[in-house]
Amino acid sequence: MARSSFSLSFLFSALLIINAFQVSAQKPVFTRQDTLRGSITPERAWWDITYYHLDISVNPLDSTIRVSNTINYRVTGNPTLMQIDLQPPMNLIKAVQNNSDLTFKREGNVYWISMKEVKQKDKIYSIVLSFEGKPRVSTRPPWVGGITWSKDKNGLPFVASACQGDGASLWWPCKDHMYDEPDSMLISVNVPENLVDVSNGRLRSVDVLRNKTKTYHWFVANPINNYGVNINIADYAHFSEVFKGEKGDLDCDYYVLKENLEKAKEQFKQVPLMLAAFEHWFGPYPFYEDSYKLVEAPYLGMEHQSCVTYGNGFKNGYRGTDLSGTGWGLKFDFIIVHESGHEWFANSITYEDIADMWIHESFINYSESLYLEYYFGKDAGSEYVLGTRSNIRNDRPVTGFYNVNNEGSGDMYYKGGNMLHTIRQIVNDDEKWRNILRGLNSEFYHKVVKGSQIENFMSLKTGINLKTVFDQYLRDIRIPVFEYNVKGNKLTFRWNNCVAGFNMPMKIFVSGKEKLLYPSERFSTVQLDVENATIMPDKGFYVAILNISGN
């Protein structure tokens, strides 16, 4: 997802009134519904999804979605009740197994389904869930989840879903927790005959029905996370190309409103540029089997897997503006680069708990600078990262609360990107750094992960214990202060305003010569080659600097 510029300015003005420490001290109140949504309950843990067939009919005339989701699952534990998530005003009508109706009870956003017979471990079973309703309409897509029922210039329906955070159970019944992904999925969408549905994966077939409707069958051959599943319905124009990538031919398909076809043909020339840059930094595009698609949607954009949605107005920047204030942000289409970058960090490497959403957003915020570096050089990328610092709020920790579907601070974007840029300065070896980024993508290819797995991998591969670095930037709101003092040929320094045990190495330039220091919270002194040298801390580190000699 892209950071909302609206909430940025709103929260900034709110912060002028409320002291940041008061904000951080307020632990939100969580409900039983939050726990049911955000944790791996016993009623989720005993079954492992192997396959979904979401088979729906979408009616733009009355804003309804109906029909069924078939779930194949492997029994992995002791079957009790089955937890299925589906949020009001959507309703579950029926749950059928082996032609036999199952009974169920609703508790808010959750249905408890009673399983009739005892199931055998490791065997695969199937359940068909019939549902219908008018799903919640999004008031601010994609930041508030729901369906957007819009129209194109000819008055034809232009419909799309987006549901990160709020959950796929806003519009279809599923196990709405990120830890469990189906191995594959079929998405069948029935729409009026004059419209096209574009969903994830590859188009298998289109059924033309007698009732003046068509059903589009999209098959996803890879594991897919819940919020990645999406529908996009419009009178689309289509064009395509083949990208020659690291793993061979990658089919790229583009769907845009007919009125925007010419603009799209020009703007989407950035897609192969994006793919080349990200394959260089992160490794092969992770879903060759499912192809890459960029699909126009009636909102800014979202990283739907192999079906990235686009609404950036066919302009460079973020809605035509530069988030870094350096000018570099206008060199690329923010939504093409940012949302597509999520194919690597979000769709291939996926957070298990949204509290660790930094795994998606920190790397992809940082990827914007990597894109610039690839085409405009290292300084361009660096200037961009440093420029985005003005957007950091240090209001709350980047990490949210676990097991209650809680996101951390929006600082997961700019502060997260700056944390990675800082770590890169410590590594101080561009090829090693690139190998770590590519290593993450091969180690955790198509995996759901905890933040700690990413942190440990980076410590292991950098050869530096980064524990306190992650503690500082992800779980604390303070900016560490590098305090130093030069007297004669002696340099005295320490970290202050930091987490206990903070020991991040720090790079400085002593009269222009690079030097790596190992500060701790206690003052250390090193001898310099020159008297009264000028000390320039490396600007790539996201830290505060205090010359305590007062010079």
Binding site residues, Zn ion, CB under 5 A: 1, 361, 364
* Separation of alpha carbons 63 and 437, rounded Å: 43
Indicate the residue among 338 and 396 with the shorter CB distance to Zn ion.
338
Q: How far is the CB of 347 from Zn ion (least distance, A)?
A: 11
* Separation of alpha carbons 516 and 316, rounded Å: 38
**Which residue's CB comes closest to Zn ion?**
1
Indicate the residue among 165 and 505 with the shorter CB distance to Zn ion.
165
CA 203 to chain CA centroid, Å, is 25
In sequence order, what are the residues at sequence separation of 6 or more whose Cβ sits closer than 8 angstroms to the Cβ of residue 333? 267, 270, 312, 314, 315, 316, 317
Strand 124-133 versus strand 213-220 pairing type: unpaired
Please, what's the b/e burial string for 279-297 (b: 16 or more CB within 10 A of its CB; e: otherwise)?
Answer: bbbbbbbbbbebbbbbbbb
Q: How far is the CB of 342 from Zn ion (least distance, A)?
A: 6
* Separation of alpha carbons 282 and 439, rounded Å: 8
- The answer to whether the CB of 286 falls within 8 A of the CB of 348 is yes
Indicate the residue among 180 and 303 with the shorter CB distance to Zn ion.
303
Indicate the residue among 71 and 163 with the shorter CB distance to Zn ion.
163
Q: How far is the CB of 118 from Zn ion (least distance, A)?
A: 44
Indicate the residue among 184 and 305 with the shorter CB distance to Zn ion.
305
Q: How far is the CB of 88 from Zn ion (least distance, A)?
A: 28
Q: How far is the CB of 256 from Zn ion (least distance, A)?
A: 21
Residue 89 preceded by cis peptide, ω within 30: yes
Q: How far is the CB of 348 from Zn ion (least distance, A)?
A: 14
Indicate the residue among 49 and 449 with the shorter CB distance to Zn ion.
449
Indicate the residue among 233 and 364 with the shorter CB distance to Zn ion.
364
* Separation of alpha carbons 502 and 210, rounded Å: 69
- The answer to whether the CB of 309 falls within 8 A of the CB of 279 is no
Indicate the residue among 364 and 510 with the shorter CB distance to Zn ion.
364
In sequence order, what are the residues at sequence separation of 6 or more whose Cβ sits closer than 8 angstroms to the Cβ of residue 490? 525, 526, 527, 528
* Separation of alpha carbons 408 and 351, rounded Å: 13
Q: How far is the CB of 227 from Zn ion (least distance, A)?
A: 12
Q: How far is the CB of 164 from Zn ion (least distance, A)?
A: 9
* Separation of alpha carbons 335 and 341, rounded Å: 9
Q: How far is the CB of 207 from Zn ion (least distance, A)?
A: 35
Beta-strand ranges (E) seen in 273-384 are 292-296, 301-302, 308-310, 349-351
Indicate the residue among 1 and 436 with the shorter CB distance to Zn ion.
1
Beta-strand ranges (E) seen in 221-330 are 232-234, 236-245, 248-257, 292-296, 301-302, 308-310
> What is the DSSP-derived secondary structure letter of residue 3?
P
Q: How far is the CB of 369 from Zn ion (least distance, A)?
A: 14
* Separation of alpha carbons 121 and 74, rounded Å: 8
Indicate the residue among 223 and 410 with the shorter CB distance to Zn ion.
410
Indicate the residue among 255 and 351 with the shorter CB distance to Zn ion.
351
- The answer to whether the CB of 329 falls within 8 A of the CB of 394 is no
Query: CB burial class (10 A; 0-12, 13-18, 19+) of residue 130?
Result: middle
* Separation of alpha carbons 293 and 287, rounded Å: 11
Indicate the residue among 333 and 361 with the shorter CB distance to Zn ion.
361
Indicate the residue among 186 and 337 with the shorter CB distance to Zn ion.
337
DSSP of 372-432, one letter per residue? HHHHH-HHHHHHHHHHGGGG----S-SS--TTTT----GGGTHHHHHHHHHHHHHH--HHH
Q: How far is the CB of 341 from Zn ion (least distance, A)?
A: 8
Q: How far is the CB of 262 from Zn ion (least distance, A)?
A: 28
* Separation of alpha carbons 6 and 10, rounded Å: 6
DSSP of 163-231, one letter per residue? -TTT-GGGTS-B---TT---SEEEEEEEEETT-EEE-SSEEEEEEEPTTSEEEEEEEE-S---GGG---
Q: How far is the CB of 4 from Zn ion (least distance, A)?
A: 11
